[in-house]
Chains A and B, each alone.
Chain A
C-alpha cells in the first residue's frame, strides 16, 4: 500500500463554538476536490464533525488530521484534555457529560461516539484521564467492480 499522504492538519480550540465545525467542512471540501465517492464523503463528514465537536465540548484543545492512502481515508482527532474514564460507558447511546450550556445549544445528546462508530469502517480510541484522547477513524474506498 502507498505511503499515507497528510492533506490537512487543523487546530481545534476547546469551548470555541463559533468556529466549531470548520475543520469538518475543510475535510469535506478537500475530499470533494479529490473526486471521492459522495456516500463516503458523507460518512467522513459526519464522523469528523462529531470528533471535532467532542474536542470543542469536552477537551481543552486539539487537532484534526486528514490522511489518504491507496485504501482509503483516515481522520485523526487528537486532544489534550480530561480524557474518558470509562470508554464503554462513553460509547453508550445517550450517555453524556456535556455542560448545560452545550446542551442548551443542542449538543450533548450522547450520540456523537455512536454516530462515529456507525460511520467508520475501523475505529480506535486511545484515551488517558487528565491527559487526552486520540480517535483514529478509518474509511475504506468502495470497491469498484
Chain B
C-alpha cells in the first residue's frame, strides 16, 4: 500500500513529508531498540516506535525507511521534526497502540 493509504488505515496524522505520501511501502518493522532497528529494518519499510528523540531520524535516513510512525500517542520532539524536515523523512503519528497499528497494517497488507 502507499503511505497515503496507510495514513487512512491507522488514522494517522502527517507531521512531515506531505509531498512523499504517494510512495509505496515495502513492509513494516516494529521495535524501540535502535540497534535492533539499524541491524534489521529494510529499505522502504515503515518503522513503528515510541522513541521520539532526534536519533530516530538518523536511523531512518541511514536505512532509507519510508516513514517513522509514532504510535500510542507519542509525539516527536521539536528537534526531531526539524531534522526530519531537513532530511526529507516522513513522520506520522497515531493515537492507536502499537499492537492495533501493527494489526491493521498486517490485515491490510498486499
Contact = CB atoms under 8 A, between A and B. Distances in A.
Partners in one complex: yes
Interface of A: 17-18, 20-22, 24-25, 28, 42, 45-46, 49-50, 53, 105-107, 109-112, 115, 118
29 contacts: A17-B53, A18-B54, A18-B79, A20-B55, A20-B58, A21-B55, A21-B57, A21-B59, A21-B61, A25-B58, A25-B61, A25-B62, A25-B87, A42-B43, A42-B63, A49-B38, A50-B35, A50-B38, A106-B32, A107-B34, A107-B35, A109-B33, A109-B35, A109-B36, A111-B33, A111-B35, A115-B35, A115-B39, A118-B39
B46 to A, nearest CB: 17
Interface of B: 32-36, 38-39, 43, 49, 51, 53-55, 57-59, 61-63, 79, 87
A14 B6 CA distance: 38
B34 A106 contact: yes
Residue with the highest number of chain B CB atoms closer than 10 Å, among A28, A46, A110: A46
Given A115-B38, A115-B39, A49 B62 contact: yes
A79 B38 CA distance: 22
B35 A21 contact: no
A98 to B, nearest CB: 10
Report the 3 A-B pairs with minimum CB-CB distance, sorted nearest first. Answer: A21-B58, A111-B35, A109-B33
Nearest to B49: A106
A7 B54 CA distance: 26
Contacts of B34: 53, 105-107, 109
B58 to A, nearest CB: 3
A17, A46, A106: which has the most chain B beta carbons within 10 Å? A106
Contacts of A42: 43, 63
Contacts of B35: 50, 107, 109-112, 115
A109 B31 CA distance: 12
Given A21-B57, A42-B43, A106-B34, 19 more contacts: A17-B53, A17-B55, A20-B54, A20-B58, A25-B58, A25-B61, A28-B62, A42-B63, A49-B58, A49-B59, A105-B34, A105-B55, A106-B32, A106-B49, A106-B51, A109-B33, A109-B36, A111-B39, A115-B38
